[in-house]
Amino acid sequence: MTVNARMFLRALQGEDVLPLNEQLRAAVDVAVLSGELPAGTALPSVRELAVALGISRGTVVRAYEELEAQGLIVARPRRGYYSASISESRASTIGGGVIGLIDEALRAAADAGIDGAQFIQVLADRLRVQPPNGRRVAVMGHRGAELTERVAIVEDAVRDLGVEVIGLPYEDLATPAGAARAVGCEAYLVSVLETRQARELLGACGRRALMMTLSLRPDVRAVIGTQPSKARFGIIAATPEWAGRMLAAVRRVHPLRVPPITASATSPQKIAEAIGAADMLVIGPFAWPHLRRFEPIRLPHVELSYVPDRDTIERLRNRLMGGHEFRSSAPMESDRSEVSRI
């Protein structure tokens, strides 16, 4: 197996949750973004990668075609695929946000009668009084309780390193203040499904992206796993795509002897059927707003929630400690068979 193939192997754990080509695409995406694959690096051939990872050649072809369409890799006739360069001039929401704030500060200084030389002196003085450490890590995601929980878990895992952990909602990165807050982090933890969105928003800062792999929250796994083997679940997701992923996640911790009822927000009739016929509801991320018309829901239910897994914490600590190998002693759940690239 080549070094590059090993690099991509970690993205193919839990392969029944996401299509394999999507997992492989995300792995290459993050590797190019973070600089693990410098521009011009030769990728394994389609046949080589398929054999090394135990997947079909068609899966590799689809992943490579998607990456080529995004401009992340280039195909060279008779030579294979190579990683592309990420242009410094690519539009960056973060860079634009910082420039916008500087422009506002310059206008405010001019209004206050402060000339250019005085402004630079004020800026230099402010830089001198900044905290001496100032190390930060960002956990990226959509605003909500789940992002807050992920930040708390990462914060607890790196507390001894004196690193500040912040949550970066994608919604905030669209504003100058939110974009400026994102500048200067040592690592940006990005979920596999959000690599495209993160790439567009982070721009050049995306070189410090770190793949965040997730597992079911332990208490959620315990609730689902302890249900009777013949319990019938109603799986309610925000989209049909999420319903399939949720079903795969539930199947890892419960035998599902009785076929579950899966429903998405696009099918209120199916949601009503699940509420009426299931023994327990499993509700996915972003699905609650679509259930308001059915409240109050008296059926036992659990919200599917994911947290950073042990591998993510170890990769992060390894980066923050300058590449030294680390095995966390923190009580993190680590059943690789349940890891979900969500």
Q: Which domains does the chain have, with CATH numbers?
A: 3-83 (1.10.10.10), 93-214+308-337 (3.40.50), 218-304 (3.40.50)
pLDDT in tens, 179-233: 778 878 889 998 877 777 787 788 777 778 888 888 888 899 999 999 999 999 9
Confidence of residue 333 (pLDDT cuts 50, 70, 90): very low
- Structural tokens at position 111: 């209004």
Average pLDDT, the chain: 78
**Sheet strand arrangement including 136-141:** 164-169, 136-141, 187-191, 209-212
More confident residue, 310 or 336: 310
Out of 47-56, 175-184, 328-337, pick the least confident.
328-337
**246, 238 in Cβ contact below 8 A?**
no
More confident: 325 or 107: 107
Does residue 94 contact residue 179 with C-beta atoms inside 8 Å? yes
Tell me which residue of 184, 134, 192, 229 sits closest to 308, measured CA to CA: 192
User: pLDDT value at position 254?
Assistant: 94
Amino acid at 334: S
CB 165 within 8 A of CB 139: yes
Residue 104 pLDDT grade (very low, low, confident, very high; cuts 50, 70, 90) = confident
Q: Specify whether the CB–CB gap between 137 and 318 falls below 8 A.
A: no
- What is the pLDDT, as a whole number, of residue 5? 64
296 cis-preceded (ω within 30 degrees of 0): yes
Residue 94 has pLDDT above 60, yes or no: no
The band of 12, judged by pLDDT with boundaries at 50, 70 and 90, is low
pTM of the predicted model as reported, rounded to 2 decimal places = 0.59
61 or 90: which carries more pLDDT confidence?
Answer: 61
Report the alpha-carbon distance of residue 267 to residue 333 in Å, rounded: 35
Highest mean pLDDT pick, 49-63, 161-175, 185-199: 161-175
More confident call, 331 vs 235: 235
Report the largest interatomic distance among the alpha carbons of the chain, rounded to a whole angstrom. Answer: 76
- Which position has the higher pLDDT, 227 or 142? 227
286-320 confidence digits (pLDDT tens): 788 888 888 888 889 998 888 888 888 998 999 89
Question: Helices 93-111 and 195-202: crossing angle, nearest 10°?
Answer: 30
Of the two residues 332 and 22, the one the predictor is more confident about is: 22
Report whether 92 contacts 98 (CB < 8 A). no
Q: What integer pLDDT is reported at residue 11 of this predicted model?
A: 55
Residue 144 predicted with pLDDT over 70: yes
Q: Which residue has the higher pLDDT, 75 or 36?
A: 75
- Residue 324, Cβ density class (10 Å: 0-12 exposed, 13-18 middle, ≥19 buried): exposed
What's residue 155's pLDDT? 92
